Structure 1
Amino acid sequence: MTSVKTFTSPTAAAKSVFQHVKYEHLVAGVTGGVASTLILHPLDLIKIRFAVSDGRSPTPQYHGLRNAVSTIFREEGLRGLYKGVTPNVWGSGSAWGFYFLFYNSIKTWVQGGNSKTPLGPTMHMLLAAQAGVLTLVMTNPVWVVKTRLCLQYSDAYPNSGRNYAGMVDALKSIYRLEGVRGLYRGFVPGMFGVSHGAIQFMAYEEMKNYYNEYRNCPIDAKLGTMEYLGFAATSKLLAASVTYPYQVIRARLQDQYHNYQGSVDCVRQTWRYEGYRGFYKGLVPNLTRVLPATMITFVTYENVWRWVQHYTS
């Protein structure tokens, strides 16, 4: 049975974890996140617009994924489908990079440097949750900016609110008008979102481990592209189906056209006016986006990490 390391002091623990940091994970994670974002950003934009569409705001209403794509393209052009892509690239790239870096550093520390030591589903969830919290603290302002930019509509909706000139202007404006709290809107439901990553990484790791055991191979043995694709898609589908409502609440709290008194008020209003369906708005475009995005991210990560590790070892 694997034993969890005992903390002697925060300083000593931090130094011990730092010894296991491998920046190959950061490089591979950033590469995977950027690649998937550039390919699939339009679906992310549409997901956000569906999520905040409550029928009570002066914003466009879409009738399905195809109608959303055609309407945005007609009213805002191709650039409209890529609004918010800059902070999304920064956010996804840094989030995946930091997540893989934190997760694998803590994981290697717990394993005592032996990557062949099995940890079990509970420990995988715990480690993924810790990595998720650290990543969220560092990237939440970028996600706020991305949401705001994705929710800038065409001139057909002149009363829809404040428009930003770009990522830097949005960061400055939000900080000037709303302070640090504005940059951390949606942080509380984002903390619930940590469970999404925890479930996903637990399922992904366990499936890889079981498959390697079935093949009578070490649990850290390299798999083929199809295995990575299958495990990434299955783990993401499981996590997304369980935790999607938090993404709706988070997007609405970050939306500049809504005024909620916090997460609880947002949940109450969503339930009151839209019922349970309100918590799953944008689920179809979300799944259409996250499944291939996760597959691209994980396959890219696994292969880039192996490649970088080979040429730096």
Structure 2
Amino acid sequence: MSAKPEVGLVREASRQIVAGGSAGLVEICLMHPLDVVKTRFQIQRYATDPNSYKSLGDSFRMIFRTEGLFGFYKGILPPILAETPKRAVKFFTFEQYKKLLGYVSLSPALTFAIAGLGSGLTEAIVVNPFEVVKVGLQANRNTFTEQPSTLSYARQIIKKEGLGLQGLNKGFTATLGRHGVFNMVYFGFYYNVKNIIPVNKDPTLEFLRKFGIGLLSGTIASVINIPFDGAVMLLVYEYTYSWLQENW
């Protein structure tokens, strides 16, 4: 009798991982150019630097002119490799933390927020090494064919700085803050608002209800999360800048 729930749990987990991983892959492919531009703005050292971007439009023009179309896809491999395990950890641990918090007398609102915080902190452990490599590749302004491969750049970091907090896990505390705060705000807001707004019987309206709540949740979480994201970029870029100076 106990085997059936276990099979159902595995099937549900597999479905969530496949669906989440597929959605994440599409999201990365569509949004990575904006992520490259965001990273470039975050790591600009001086406004007076002749190589600094003056505006969003200027950044797109300069990247396309000097690095080509593929310049917008620098560093895309690390997030692709991290996406499926990241999504799996994010949603699986959220559910587990939520179950554990069920043994404590907490309000539903607080339960969702704390479970989200826990899932974000756990997710950061998986994401951080990939983030370090991604930022380094995105920061490189050479043409796509001239920049190091993902594997060779990761090897350089490990060889020079190791796997610790000064190497492949540089900026780890900021990454903990970024993912912890984002998931806390996102899950806390999403599930609480979702439970307040009535379910609609019309499939289209119900989709729009969930989409709207998700969009608003993600927007609020992203705005609150900007300082942590900026800190991650700057901490990781310290190594990248010295590496570029030595090798290019």
TM-score bracket, normalised by the shorter chain, equals 0.7 to 0.9
- Cα 1:27–1:69 shift into 2, 3 Å: same
Q: Counterpart of 1:249?
A: 231
The alignment of Structure 1 onto Structure 2 pairs a total of residues equal to 225
Q: Which has the higher contact order (CA 8 A, sep 6+)?
A: 1
Large movers: runs of 4+ above 6 Å: 56-59
> Aligned match of 1:127 in 102, 109, 115?
115
- Cα 1:25–1:234 shift into 2, 3 Å: same
State the distance in 2 between where 1:96 and 1:127 align. Answer: 15
CA contact (8 A) 1:28 1:97 kept: no
CA contact (8 A) 1:124 1:205 kept: yes
Q: Counterpart of 2:4?
A: none
After superposition, residues 76-87 of structure 1 pair within 5 angstroms as 76-87=67-78
Q: Counterpart of 2:188?
A: 202
Q: CA deviation at 1:186?
A: 1.1
Q: Counterpart of 1:167?
A: 150
SS in 2 for 1:257: helix
> Aligned match of 2:172 in 165, 187, 203?
187
Q: Counterpart of 1:26?
A: 17
- Cα 1:57–1:64 shift into 2, 3 Å: closer
CA contact (8 A) 1:189 1:246 kept: yes
> Aligned match of 1:39 in 30, 40, 56?
30
Q: Counterpart of 1:153?
A: 141
Letter of the aligned partner of 2:78 in structure 1? P
- Cα 1:253–1:57 shift into 2, 3 Å: farther
Q: Counterpart of 2:213?
A: 231
Q: CA deviation at 1:59?
A: 8.3
Q: CA deviation at 1:178?
A: 0.7
CA contact (8 A) 1:252 1:258 kept: no
State the distance in 2 between where 1:248 and 1:228 align. Answer: 29
Of 233-242 and 41-50, the range deviating more from structure 2: 233-242
State the distance in 2 between where 1:228 and 1:258 align. Answer: 45
Map Cα deviations across residues 118-158 of structure 1 (whole Å, 9 max, x no partner). 96111111111111111111221001111111111127xxx
Q: TM-score by structure 1 length?
A: 0.65
Map Cα deviations across residues 23-63 of structure 1 (whole Å, 9 max, x no partner). 32222221221110011100000000100112189783111
CA contact (8 A) 1:141 1:184 kept: yes
Q: TM-score by structure 2 length?
A: 0.80
SS in 2 for 1:135: helix
Of 241-250 and 224-233, the range deviating more from structure 2: 224-233
Q: CA deviation at 1:224?
A: 3.0
- Cα 1:107–1:82 shift into 2, 3 Å: same
Q: Counterpart of 1:285?
A: none
Letter of the aligned partner of 1:26 in structure 2? I
State the distance in 2 between where 1:87 and 1:148 align. Answer: 11
Q: CA deviation at 1:108?
A: 4.7
> Aligned match of 2:87 in 92, 96, 103?
96
Q: CA deviation at 1:111?
A: 5.3
> Alignment RMSD, CA only?
3.0
After superposition, residues 44-55 of structure 1 pair within 5 angstroms as 44-55=35-46
The percentage of aligned residue pairs carrying the same residue is: 24
Q: Counterpart of 2:5?
A: none
Of 26-35 and 62-71, the range deviating more from structure 2: 26-35
Q: CA deviation at 1:174?
A: 0.8
CA contact (8 A) 2:39 2:135 kept: yes
